[in-house]
Amino acid sequence: MSKKVWVIEDESENQVAATKIHQKNISTVHQNSTEQRNPSLAYSLSIIIWGCGQFYNKQWGLGVLLLLFMILFYAFIGIAVVYWEFITISFESVYVNRSETLLILSCFYLLGLVVWHFNAWQAYLRSIKMNQKASQGIKGKLLPVVCSLLMPGWGQLLNGQTKKGFIFGLLLLSSLVAIPFILFTFLLWPTLDASRSRYIIEWIFSISFILSPFLLLMWIMNIFDAAKVSIDPTKKKPLRIRSRYVINRFRYHVQVYGWKNALIALVKRNTLVIALLILGVINFRYVPEKFYMQELQHLGNRMSKKEMTVIPGIIKKLPNNISFGK
């Protein structure tokens, strides 16, 4: 026969165990709360000083590595600018001409820009992962506008718009590649050796030159977007919700104020964009066509004197009877 065993439970032991579990849960919640990070701050720290956002996220090893890379990058730029002649002479001693030297240094410069952006975005995304939720942005209205003026995409991230920030961040990267390349190519072109490398440089210069007005326009749109979103927090919502909100708000204005006043209110909210469009239409409509052709021909002649062929060749292929204003 099996013997029955009576177990007498001690209530005090159960209470002690429950207390330990409760304290463990409290410590876990406290630990999670202390690990909360501000993605906007992490990005801002890393975009200013490489690695600082990683320090903020307690990624000490990666932060030190990126900080050292920043020091080497700025030292590289300084040495390349100050000791350009010495560098070219040294490369020529191993049969690398000036055009090839410029291409090699440009590749290192591009690599540095890519690492700079990786550093800032890694800090931003790491903070979001630590928070286990998307960034809500900051409450300030002026700071996103100022940051977008300095660097496209920065203001969008401060507004909590990750996708827009990434798109305008690519604009910043393109601008920092195109504009310096245009300036240095113009300055160094007479000293570059006529070779296939110089032809490649001219093509990169031509593409950068053609895209530069578009980059400037996108930079202005980036500032306008950051200002518009920081003023109206509802624009931080997903596109589907924002579209529904705009339609409902317009219907409300139509019902209360009528069609005319509703349209006037809509125009006021988009004054800058409409003004730029009107200015562009007036400029193309009333400025004589000969002015554009003369300016293009003047630009082509200046580049031809510098022995450039790509843009002057494109200008020569343009018909003389292009109608800009019709």
- Give the tens place of pLDDT for each residue, 224-256: 889 888 887 766 666 666 667 667 776 776 777
Amino acid 15: pLDDT: 58
The winner for highest mean pLDDT among 128-142, 216-230, 276-290 is 216-230
Is residue 128 predicted with pLDDT exceeding 70?
A: yes
- Nearest to 144, CA basis, from 233, 206, 63: 233
Contact yes or no for 230/144 (Cβ under 8 A)? yes
Computed over every residue of the chain, the mean pLDDT equals 80
Is residue 7 predicted with pLDDT exceeding 60?
A: no
Determine what percent of the chain is predicted with pLDDT higher than 90.
40
Amino acid 301: pLDDT: 82
pLDDT, mean of residues 286-295 = 64
pTM: 0.73
322: left (phi over 0), alpha (psi -120 to 50) or beta: beta
Contact yes or no for 160/135 (Cβ under 8 A)? yes
Contact yes or no for 302/293 (Cβ under 8 A)? no
Q: How many residues does the chain have?
A: 326
Amino acid 279: pLDDT: 66
Amino acid 33: pLDDT: 43
Is residue 165 predicted with pLDDT exceeding 80?
A: yes
pLDDT, mean of residues 195-200 = 89
Query: How many domains would you assign to the chain?
Result: 1
Range of the domain at 167: 36-236
Amino acid 26: pLDDT: 47
Is residue 326 predicted with pLDDT exceeding 60?
A: no
Distance CA 135, CA 42 (A): 11
Is residue 200 predicted with pLDDT exceeding 60?
A: yes
Is residue 186 predicted with pLDDT exceeding 90?
A: no
Is residue 17 predicted with pLDDT exceeding 70?
A: no
Tokens of 272: 């800058």
Burial (CB count within 10 angstroms: exposed 0-12, middle 13-18, buried 19+), residue 7: exposed
Has residue 130 been placed in a domain?
Answer: yes
Has residue 326 been placed in a domain?
Answer: no
CA 167 from centre of chain? 6
Is residue 282 predicted with pLDDT exceeding 90?
A: no
Amino acid 42: pLDDT: 93
239-278 burial by CB neighbour count: b if 16+ within 10 A, else e? eeeeeeeeeeeeeebeeeeeeeebeeeeeeeeeeeeeeee
Distance CA 284, CA 278 (A): 10
The winner for highest mean pLDDT among 117-121, 188-192, 207-211 is 117-121
Has residue 324 been placed in a domain?
Answer: no
Has residue 111 been placed in a domain?
Answer: yes
Residue 5 has φ and ψ, to the nearest 5°, of: -115, 125
Residue 8 has φ and ψ, to the nearest 5°, of: -100, 115
Has residue 293 been placed in a domain?
Answer: no
Amino acid 5: pLDDT: 52
Is residue 166 predicted with pLDDT exceeding 50?
A: yes
Amino acid 45: pLDDT: 95
Has residue 17 been placed in a domain?
Answer: no
> Predicted confidence band at 325 (pLDDT cuts at 50, 70, 90)?
very low
Amino acid 313: pLDDT: 84
